[in-house]
Amino acid sequence: MKFLLTSSGIGNPSISDALVGLLGKPIAESTALFIPTGVYPFPGGGARAWKAIHGQASIPLCQLGWKSLGLLELTALPTIREENWVPAVREADALLVWGGDVLYLTYWLRRSGLADLLPSLSDTVYVGVSAGSIAVTPYNCDAEFDLGFVPDGSDMAQGADRALGLVDFTLYPHLNHPDMEDAKLSDIQKWASGIPVPTYAIDDNIAIKVVDGTVDVISEGDWRLINP
């Protein structure tokens, strides 16, 4: 699988060019499935998902002019026969994975069966936004925050600090974002000091591209690589 891990979507020409390069064709000739699941735990999550699907969110993703755009709802997949959703995933050029609650998203990626399927999708581009990007790394930098949204009695909190580990580094998005108190570089460095893999701290104009294990930073902004 090819990865384009962003903090805030396809927000500048460099990231857009990287996406087209990974697709191997223009966006207008490419098909995508959008995964909104991660945003549901937050207040107004359903409305946020609707805005994202309809291209009304400020983060550019669904509104890029895809040839076709479908919806892949992870919470529904365990109740659907695999032959009725797996072919659509295999046929899509890109999976667009929205942000939100990393813990909730990784829980449903695993429970839906999509996490097991992802490594076999060698030609598919996984496009992550914030939590959607963190979810494929080994560690969840938002674990403490996410625990506040776990329903009483749920087993979701188990292993909250671990994500899927499909890449060999972790990611901390929204570097120095003015509305996020824990996104200062000093705070990120403190968190990363306890992580045994490299951490990329990226602002909203950066993307991390990964192809066959090779990592490239797509940069029109600020980023830091923090080694373990």
156 φ, ψ (degrees, to nearest 5):
-65, -25
Which pLDDT value is given to residue 179?
80
C-alpha–C-alpha distance, residues 35 and 216, integer Å: 24
C-alpha–C-alpha distance, residues 134 and 169, integer Å: 10
CATH value at residue 140: 3.40.50.880
Which pLDDT value is given to residue 153?
87
Which pLDDT value is given to residue 182?
79
**What is the model's pTM?**
0.96
DSSP 146-211: HGGGPPTT-STTTTTTB---SSSSEEE-STT-TT-GGGSHHHHHHHHTT-SS-EEEE-TTEEEEEE
* Strand ordering across the sheet containing 68-71: 68-71, 31-35, 94-97, 125-129, 2-6, 206-211, 214-219
Total domain count, the chain = 1
Q: What is the pLDDT along the chain (228 residues), one digit of tens a residue?
A: 999 999 999 999 999 999 999 999 999 999 999 999 999 999 999 999 999 999 888 899 999 999 999 999 999 999 999 999 999 999 999 999 999 999 999 999 999 999 999 999 999 999 999 999 999 999 999 999 899 999 998 988 888 999 999 999 999 999 988 887 778 999 999 999 999 999 999 999 999 999 999 999 999 999 999 998
- Note the residue count of the chain: 228
Radius of gyration of the chain from its Cα atoms, rounded to whole angstroms:
16
41 φ, ψ (degrees, to nearest 5):
-65, -20
- Angle at CA of residue 191, ends 189 and 195, nearest 5°: 100
C-alpha–C-alpha distance, residues 143 and 159, integer Å: 9
Parent domain of 190:
2-226
Which pLDDT value is given to residue 180?
77
Q: Give one word for 111, left, alpha or beta, with left for phi > 0 and alpha for psi -120 to 50.
A: alpha
Which pLDDT value is given to residue 55?
87
